[in-house]
Structure 1
Amino acid sequence: MQMTNFSLSQKTAVVTGAARGIGKAAAEGLAEAGADVVLVQRSGAEETKKAVESFGRTCHVIQCDLQDSDAVKAVIPEVVDRFGTIDILVNNAGIQKRHPAVDFPEEDWELVMNIQLKAVWLLSQAAGRVMTEQGSGSIISIASLQSFQGGLFIPAYASAKGAVAQLTKALANEWASKGVNVNAVAPGYVATDMNEALIEDPVRSRQIMERIPAGRWGQPEDFKGPVVFLASEAADFIHGHVLTVDGGWMGR
């Protein structure tokens, strides 16, 4: 194994939801490994853009509301028009809505599903058309522990993340033979804005910490390595895998 197998030099990567958290860390990691990066973001990607460019890489921002299917469908064609191809897609953007299941509003259900699942599908489908034609590429979707567990008060999120794991496997079955790697990363409990309510709840925060063998919440930077690995030639024989990055939570 040569370290050059982890290089992403001359690759073009697309990352959704890259303004902060795991998406920002993923974009920075990909750039550090040599990739040019396209940030797909509704707003607020300036800091990430500066970070990507600090590694000497090209960074382009596409403003897109992932609830808008027509806007989502236009993303990959714009990337290909500007860069000539797409080599890596990281489906990271996400949203969380918490309500008891009996009171869960339909509009919140649709919002979560559109961003967490439909946008992932549309972007993956469009990227897959390009990647299967060129015979190479890597699609990495951000799944969740809720791809395996049901959680509390998050029926839409759990349903969407379960579907992301299954979509990952379905696409891998079709595209592995065409040189395209489709995998997912399932974060554990990570200190991001999405988990702010849990972090600030002294009881739930304590309960969560007690189950994490690593003894800490995850940090966005913990995801640089896994994303770069799955995007690189080092992961060429990994297809349809959901990689938990959880401090040992699922093994407890």
Structure 2
Amino acid sequence: MTGTNAPDSGAGLLVDKVAFLMGAGRGIGAAAARLFAREGATVVLAARTEAELAGVVGEIRDAGGTADYVLADLTQGGSIQAAVEGVIRRHHRLDVALNNGGVSIPHTPMVNTTEQNFDLVSTVNYRGLFLSMTAEIRAIRATAGSGAIVNVSSVGSLRGAPGLGPYAAAKRAVNSLTETAAAEYGPEGIRVNAIAPGTTMTGVIRQWAEDEPGAVDRLNALTPLRRAAEPAEIAEAAAWLLSDRASFVTGVCLPVDGGLRA
């Protein structure tokens, strides 16, 4: 039996939502921005590179969606806060947010990782996400009152990841922050989840495939679905978690990995 408050199954997943997407200039973030707009959201994209953001916003508007962008640097707390405040100035509320921004560092055994690369991945993928998520929670509480956040983790965070030590550790920290935020703000009606993509054909992975021929093929051979994902497939999972159709889901880290960690 369908409850009287259940969402209309014929409506877009994110109709009437104001959605903020950190790290939306390319890859999973850009694919999510396009999808969220198609699903009815008003989207605000954020990243460092204005040309990339403008290009994605233009595509969304050309397709009939509602989109704009703000600049944000995940290494700068003030920049993150200003980006979230920019959403509120433009649209007067924040309902949902996707935190996709991050960096990768060269694959190497931990003893070969430079201090500079360790600091970079920690600052952007851990500290930057923490500052983004907390700014978004404050904005949701002050405006919409309730809402949802999805953080982008990695399947590499779910167990030991040779060659990806600092990156995987930062993503595991994302999982912990996600669970804690879900526990702290669930009583207020704010859901917080994470997704853990497996091999996904972003620009970073395509470059890795060029640098190490056969690397993606090796991962695909370990993946039950025997292929990599396209960014749009990862975005679909995020859209559902942010939607009211996932209204009783919070505090999870959902693998979207083709069964790689099965």
Q: What is the TM-score when the length of structure 1 is the normalising length?
A: 0.93
Q: Which amino acid is the alignment partner of residue 150 of structure 1?
A: G
Task: Name the structure 1 match of 2:66.
Answer: 58
Q: Is the 8 A contact 2:12 2:38 kept in 1?
A: no
Q: Which amino acid is the alignment partner of residue 120 of structure 1?
A: L
Deviation at 1:5, TM superposition (A): 6.5
Aligned ranges 1:205-244 → 2 under 5 Å: 205-244=216-255
Q: Which amino acid is the alignment partner of residue 182 of structure 1?
A: V
Structure 1 residue runs without a partner (length 5+): none
Return the alpha-carbon distance in structure 2 between the equivalents of residues 198 and 205 of structure 1.
Answer: 8
Task: Name the structure 2 match of 1:9.
Answer: 15
Q: Mean Cα displacement is larger for which, 86-95 or 96-105?
A: 96-105
Q: Mean Cα displacement is larger for which, 41-50 or 232-241?
A: 41-50
Q: Is the 8 A contact 2:95 2:147 kept in 1?
A: yes
Return the alpha-carbon distance in structure 1 between the equivalents of residues 193 and 201 of structure 2.
Answer: 23
Deviation at 1:219, TM superposition (A): 0.7
Aligned ranges 1:37-52 → 2 under 5 Å: 37-43=43-49, 44-52=52-60
Q: Which amino acid is the alignment partner of residue 26 of structure 2?
A: R
Task: Name the structure 2 match of 1:170.
Answer: 180
Return the alpha-carbon distance in structure 2 between the equivalents of residues 219 and 124 of structure 1.
Answer: 25
The one-character-per-residue Cα deviations of 1:46-70 (angstroms, maximum 9, x if unpaired) are: 2211222134332221112211122
Return the alpha-carbon distance in structure 2 between the equivalents of residues 191 and 248 of structure 1.
Answer: 16
Q: Does 1:181 align with 2:191?
A: yes
Task: Name the structure 2 match of 1:250.
Answer: 261
Return the alpha-carbon distance in structure 2 between the equivalents of residues 225 and 184 of structure 1.
Answer: 13
User: SS of 1:141's equivalent?
Assistant: strand
Task: Name the structure 1 match of 2:113.
Answer: 104
Q: Is the 8 A contact 2:13 2:39 kept in 1?
A: yes
User: SS of 1:138's equivalent?
Assistant: strand
Q: Mean Cα displacement is larger for which, 206-215 or 29-38?
A: 206-215
> How many matched pairs?
251
The one-character-per-residue Cα deviations of 1:93-120 (angstroms, maximum 9, x if unpaired) are: 1111123311212121111111111111
Return the alpha-carbon distance in structure 2 between the equivalents of residues 138 and 101 of structure 1.
Answer: 35
User: What fraction of aligned residue pairs are identical, expressed as a percent?
Assistant: 31
Note closer, same or farther for the CA distance 1:234–1:241 as it changes in structure 2 (3 Å cut): same
Q: Is the 8 A contact 1:168 1:240 kept in 2?
A: yes
Return the alpha-carbon distance in structure 2 between the equivalents of residues 111 and 242 of structure 1.
Answer: 24
Deviation at 1:40, TM superposition (A): 0.6
Note closer, same or farther for the CA distance 1:239–1:5 as it changes in structure 2 (3 Å cut): farther
Task: Name the structure 2 match of 1:27.
Answer: 33
Task: Name the structure 1 match of 2:5.
Answer: none
Q: Which amino acid is the alignment partner of residue 246 of structure 2?
A: A
Q: Which amino acid is the alignment partner of residue 83 of structure 1?
A: H
User: SS of 2:129's equivalent?
Assistant: helix
Q: Is the 8 A contact 1:95 1:194 kept in 2?
A: no
Return the alpha-carbon distance in structure 2 between the equivalents of residues 31 and 205 of structure 1.
Answer: 31
Q: Is the 8 A contact 1:53 1:59 kept in 2?
A: yes
Return the alpha-carbon distance in structure 2 between the equivalents of residues 156 and 73 of structure 1.
Answer: 26
Q: What is the TM-score when the length of structure 2 is the normalising length?
A: 0.90
Deviation at 1:6, TM superposition (A): 4.9
Deviation at 1:248, TM superposition (A): 1.1
Return the alpha-carbon distance in structure 2 between the equivalents of residues 132 and 185 of structure 1.
Answer: 23
User: SS of 2:162's equivalent?
Assistant: coil
The one-character-per-residue Cα deviations of 1:136-193 (angstroms, maximum 9, x if unpaired) are: 1110000101120232322221111000011110000011111111001110011112
Note the aligned Cα RMSD (angstroms): 1.7
Return the alpha-carbon distance in structure 1 between the equivalents of residues 238 and 111 of structure 2.
Answer: 37
Q: Is the 8 A contact 1:229 1:235 kept in 2?
A: yes
Q: Mean Cα displacement is larger for which, 51-60 or 28-37?
A: 51-60
